[in-house]
Amino acid sequence: MQYSYSTADIKRHKECVVVLGNFDGVHKGHQMLFKVARQEAHKKGLETVVFSFYPHPTWVIGNQPKSLLMSRRDKKRMVQHLGMDVLVEYPFTKEFASISPEEFFTKILIEQLKARVLVVGSNYYFGRDKIGNPSFLKGLGKTYNVEVHVIEAVMEKNQMISSSQIRQLILTGKIEKANEMLGHPYMIVGNVVQGKQLGRTIGFPTINLIADPDRVYPPNGVYATKVKVYSKTFLGMTNIGYNPTVNGEKKMIETHILDFNETLYGEEVEVDFYHFIRPEQKFDSIEALQAQISCDKERVLQIFKESVNGIAK
């Protein structure tokens, strides 16, 4: 998959299907847009282009900047996994936010991307003051001979799937429901850093990832997880928090990988979250912490034993 983060290096040399959106989380609704784009591209012999923005528009013009469901690296991985040909993250600035919908349509979508087909969700807005909506987009499509597909919101148990809804579910620790709407596990991907190595001394060595301040995280606590490393998947238990028992000061993501003893410093790992075990707590002693972790491990094993198709209930 080709990737661009630029205002200049996005020009395409042949017509394409363009999917428009922020795609935070790459949830089931986004996946439906990609599916339609792939179908149209296959019928017409075109390539698929995902057109997104960075930074998130709320960071530039919003009063309440949104924390993201996934990092840029995670999003790129997911878009590629879903079979798209090109991902463009267009730099979002106040100057760009001020352009008219028609200027965006003509100068970027047509002149630079050579869009022949556009795919958007029914709640997509674009251009200055959000004047551009799907109906406006269809009108421009007729004027400039660009086919426009507006896809209705995907529902999950009578609830509309949206990044905002999933964000709230994760913040309140409802991991299973968030995963249902995402269509994949909530994940944290990062490179392993060296920690205090306390876990190693008590029989539960951990891999450590630094929390990204721009991400949304579930409540501090212990979770049943799966860890992908070296193209293999292992069961794990992950603690998000500050390690109050040993007076930790930095928020970390610490994962004990079951039946795994290799050193992974510097390696990229993916931690997938399935089930909330317990909140983070401060113990009176290291021995009490060790005993609780043993209980947590048994709980994790039981959860995955009871799971269906590898998805924890």
Q: Which residues pair with 52 in a beta bridge?
A: 89
SS3 state at 281: coil
- Its sign, for the CA torsion 97, 101, 103, 107, is positive
Report the residue count for the chain: 313
User: Catalytic residue positions?
Assistant: 254
Report how far residue 97's alpha carbon sits from residue 92's, in angstroms, rounded to the nearest whole number. 7
What span, in angstroms and rounded, lies between the C-alpha atoms of 87 and 10? 10
Amino acid at 27: H
How is residue 310 written in tokens?
Answer: 């590898």
Which two tokens mark 44? 């017409």
Alpha-carbon distances, residue 144 vs 111, 118, 225, 259 (angstroms): 11, 12, 49, 59
